Amino acid sequence: MILPILCVKCKNQPAETSAVEGRLKLCPKCFIEYFERRVKESVQKFHMFTHEERVAVAVSGGKDSGALLRSLKRAFPNLDIVALHINLGINGYSEHCESKVRELVKEECVELNVFKLSEEGFTIDDFRKTLYKNEVCSPCGIVKRHILDRMALEVGAKVLATGHNLDDILSTLLHTFFSGDFVQLVRLKPVLMPQHPYQTKKVKPLIKMSEFEDYQYALYTEIPIRELNCPHSIGTKSREGKKILESLSKGNPNFKYQTLSLFLKKLIPMIEDKVKQPNLMSCIRCGFPSSTEVCAYCKRVEMVKRVGKRA
Ligand code: AMP
Ligand code: FES
Ligand code: ZN
């Protein structure tokens, strides 16, 4: 008879899963505790927010932001949390995401603000008619950043938390490093302070949680998450980046944590002062921060509406 491996924490239940890249064999109950404790430690270590602050949590319907909302609610039960969701108008996908977000906030008893992009007169699908063709992830990222800033401002939140996880951060780190984009690289920090009156403090409480851990937490705590992938995400740079990350960390369970530590403790302090962040002004159309007269968002809106009129 093969005896089950016991959980290294409680030493009582069979270890069903693992954390920290396979190094900690845990039972589901101890895994959930581990996850929530680690999220809490990251929030405190990087001074992401205080108990008095209103925190907006960007929830997409996916496992990461779902795990973020649930773990923050459990780790900080008295925190004033408001969930923000953008319905991007992606056919066969966005309505499904919104319904999962609605289920989750109901379970968590959290206030929800939904913004339907169609109210702006366009959707993410409409960008396929522009020069972006089938690569709409780039304008989608710009749209999401702008709308989330706007929503956070409207609900009076000083902090905006997103579900970026360890794998997201490291794969983007590799990409920005090799393309020499050090301005974007510095923006991967766990906390970004506002540089403009319309900006909120941006925080990434899942910076130390891997994609696998987010998925396990979502599974064990039964978070309602989307069952579909975005139809526009096939073959994107972020997927490619994650494949490279996986092959680099094969056989070295420490790789991801060592790289994160190197990034936070060595690279950032070394380059932060040397990398000149663009001087921010206010966009002449929307008033939101921009490095040029008209911001990236307003330029994309103009582009997508121009093709809309021609069609
Ligand atoms: P992504 O850019 O899709 O990798 O998502 C990164 C993070 O942005 C997610 O973990 C969420 O916190 C947030 N986010 C993405 N899409 C949405 C959305 N439609 N509504 C609200 N927040 C979102
Ligand atoms: Fe933005 Fe898929 S969610 S293109
Ligand atoms: Zn603008």
For the chain, how long is the longest CA-to-CA vector? 73
Q: Is the pLDDT of residue 175 over 90?
A: no
**270 contact partners, CB below 8 Å, separation of at least 6:** none
Ligand 1 pocket residue status of 162, Cβ below 6 Å: yes
- Is residue 1's pLDDT more than 70? no
Per-residue pLDDT band for 309 (boundaries 50, 70, 90) equals: low
CA proximity to 148, closest of 219, 84, 103: 84
239 CA distance to ligand 3 middle (Å): 29
Which amino acid residue places its CA nearest to atom 21 of ligand 1?
85
The pTM (predicted TM-score) of the whole model is: 0.96
Ligand 1 centroid–CA 60 distance in Å is 5
Check residue 65 and give its pLDDT: 98
C-alpha distances (whole Å) from 190 to each of 169, 193, 206, 300 are 9, 10, 9, 28
For residue 263, what is the DSSP state? I
**Length of the chain (residues):** 311
Q: What is the CA radius of gyration of the chain?
A: 20
pLDDT, tens only, 198-236: 999 999 999 999 999 999 999 999 999 999 999 998 766
Which numeric CATH code is attached to 45-277? Answer: 3.40.50.620
Distance CA 256, CA 249 (A): 7
What is the average pLDDT value for the chain, to the nearest integer? 93
Q: What is the pLDDT of residues 275-284, one digit of tens each?
A: 877 889 999 9
CA distance to 107, 119, 152, per residue, from 301 (Å): 35, 12, 20
59 lines ligand 1 (CB under 6 A): yes
Ligand 2 centre to CA of 227 (Å) is: 15
- Provide the residue ranges of all domains of the chain, joining segments of one domain with +: 45-277
Helix (H, G, I), strand (E, B) or coil at 32: helix
Q: Whose CA is nearest to atom 9 of ligand 1?
A: 163
Q: How many Å apart are CA 311 and CA 298, to the nearest integer?
A: 20
Residue 211 Cβ contacting ligand 1 at under 6 Å: no
Nearest residue by C-alpha to atom 3 in ligand 2:
230
